[in-house]
């Protein structure tokens, strides 16, 4: 948890200024108690029904974070063989893994089948056929759900809205029945579930309950046809507070899912990502320079869009707070920008901040989800370090990259001498 004590910003028992001084910047900082608490909130909310909370690895795949969730008994939602590798290295149980994604390769399917995952969430007929072949070659049966697209508008940013008819994701719910019947006839597939995921950063329950109502009808029809459905995977998507949003809590969300499914006699799966890690992490960055342009004041910091791309990519708002007690003086309207050679390289635009000076450390809040995982080495910038705080102590869970890391795997052809 991130709290203020005597004007200083702390992560649990550790002042963020201390981490910045000892580890340097930019650095991601995560709170282990916050991760645990967010997982437990989901687990408690779904307690009335059989359930598996499958942490969506894409939100933050740092090994220590996967380990923390594995210790809680979490399952995992993956979208690649790389994520499966990370889950296994993090100590996660592959039997509690669900595998989504519309472009799974045959190699990835074989890897997941060999690991014994809980379920493949299949997104097209072509993928179904490929999985049948992979399972036949391995002499196994693959457990499958179809990811259906219930065509509800999640009312979120278009780039993270996934459940509408125009979306590349999922199978239109209108044709799902037919495809289920086809899947049920394939000898190396076990049809076990229904899956949907309608979008991310949802701030109201209605799209979820609308999707659930449509999926319930489908489950009824499938059962009438003798197709047994044991798992209902409602995906992820619950939003968090970045600024003024007031999303439902995991308790409210869980209660709605329980109420809408408890008569169905199945195991409920959810795949939360952002709501488990988003507010459990911040990005620490140091002010390099102040610069006054003709119409704007820029606060130039050492973190950039390559470290945290959400503001540049979605125009996302991330709160920014000085880690020490604010300096006296009037707030100023500034752009907080990084060193990268792109005009989209900003962490905040026209933001009102207390006066800051060079060397001050700022915390970019709510950066635990879709932060480090979307980082790149653009402009040959080594990626940031990461730290996990537990009470009064912290550990570096990912070293800052070195310049040598930047050229790892590259070679010079002999013809170039
Ligand atoms: N399940 C599936 C199939 C997904 O595609 C996603 C996210 C999740 C679960 C987890 O959703 P969450 O609970 O985190 O909303 N980079 C964007 C978000 C992309 C979300 C992609 N899919 C951002 O920074 O806002």
Residue 100 alpha carbon, nearest atom of ligand 1:
3
Q: What is the mean pLDDT of residues 88-92?
A: 98
- pLDDT at residue 130 above 80? yes
Q: What is the mean pLDDT of residues 355-367?
A: 98
pLDDT at site 159? 67
CB of 247 within 8 A of CB of 239?
A: yes
Please write the tens of the pLDDT for every residue from 144-179.
999 999 988 877 777 666 766 778 999 999 999 999
All domains of the chain in start order, with CATH: 2-29+278-406 (2.40.37.10), 100-270 (3.20.20.10)
Ligand 1 midpoint to CA 292 (Å): 38
Ligand 1 midpoint to CA 249 (Å): 17
Confidence band for 350, pLDDT divided at 50, 70 and 90: very high
Please write the tens of the pLDDT for every residue from 36-65.
999 999 999 999 999 999 999 999 999 999
pLDDT at site 394? 98
**Annotation marks residue 341 as catalytic:** yes
Residue 271 alpha carbon, nearest atom of ligand 1:
9
Tokens encoding 59: 């939100």
Tokens encoding 289: 């320079």
Ligand 1 midpoint to CA 36 (Å): 20
The protein residue whose alpha carbon is closest to atom 7 in ligand 1 is 200
Closest CA to 227 of 272, 279, 256, 185: 185
């Amino acid at each position: 948890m991130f709290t203020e004590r005597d004007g200083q910003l702390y992560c649990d028992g550790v002042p963020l200024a201390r981490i910045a001084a000892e580890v340097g910047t930019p650095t991601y900082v995560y709170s282990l108690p916050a991760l645990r608490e967010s997982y437990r909130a989901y687990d408690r909310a779904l307690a009335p029904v059989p359930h598996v909370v499958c942490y969506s690895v894409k939100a933050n795949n740092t090994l220590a974070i996967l380990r923390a969730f594995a210790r809680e008994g979490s399952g995992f939602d993956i979208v690649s063989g790389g994520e499966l590798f990370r889950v296994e290295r993090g100590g996660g149980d592959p039997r509690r893994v669900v595998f989504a994604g519309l472009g799974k390769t045959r190699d990835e399917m074989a890897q997941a089948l060999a690991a014994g995952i809980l379920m493949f969430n299949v997104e097209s007929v072509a993928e179904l056929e490929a999985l049948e072949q992979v399972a036949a070659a391995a002499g196994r049966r693959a457990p499958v759900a179809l990811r259906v697209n219930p065509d509800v508008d999640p009312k979120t940013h278009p780039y993270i809205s996934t459940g509408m008819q125009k979306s590349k994701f999922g199978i239109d719910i209108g044709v799902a029945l037919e495809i289920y019947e086809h899947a049920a006839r394939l000898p190396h597939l076990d049809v076990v579930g229904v899956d949907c995921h309608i979008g991310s950063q949802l701030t109201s329950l209605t799209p979820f309950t609308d999707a659930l109502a449509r999926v319930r009808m489908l489950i009824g029809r499938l059962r009438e046809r003798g197709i047994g459905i044991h798992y209902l995977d409602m995906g992820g998507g619950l939003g968090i507070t970045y600024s003024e949003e007031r999303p439902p809590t995991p308790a409210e969300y869980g209660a709605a899912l329980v109420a809408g499914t408890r008569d169905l006699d199945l195991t409920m799966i959810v795949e939360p990502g952002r709501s488990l890690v988003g507010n459990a992490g911040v990005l620490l960055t140091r002010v390099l320079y102040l610069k006054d342009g003709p119409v704007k004041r820029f606060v130039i910091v050492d973190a950039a869009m390559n470290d945290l791309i959400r503001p540049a990519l979605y125009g996302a708002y991330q709160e920014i707070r000085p880690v020490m007690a604010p300096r006296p003086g009037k707030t100023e309207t500034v752009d907080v920008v990084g060193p990268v050679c792109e005009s989209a390289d900003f962490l905040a635009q026209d933001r009102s901040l207390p006066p800051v000076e060079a060397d001050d450390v700022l915390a970019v809040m709510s950066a635990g989800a879709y932060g480090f995982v979307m980082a790149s080495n653009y402009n040959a910038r080594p990626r940031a370090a990461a730290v996990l705080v537990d009470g009064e102590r912290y550990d570096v869970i990912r070293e800052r990259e070195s310049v040598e890391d930047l050229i790892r795997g590259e070679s010079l052809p002999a013809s170039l001498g």
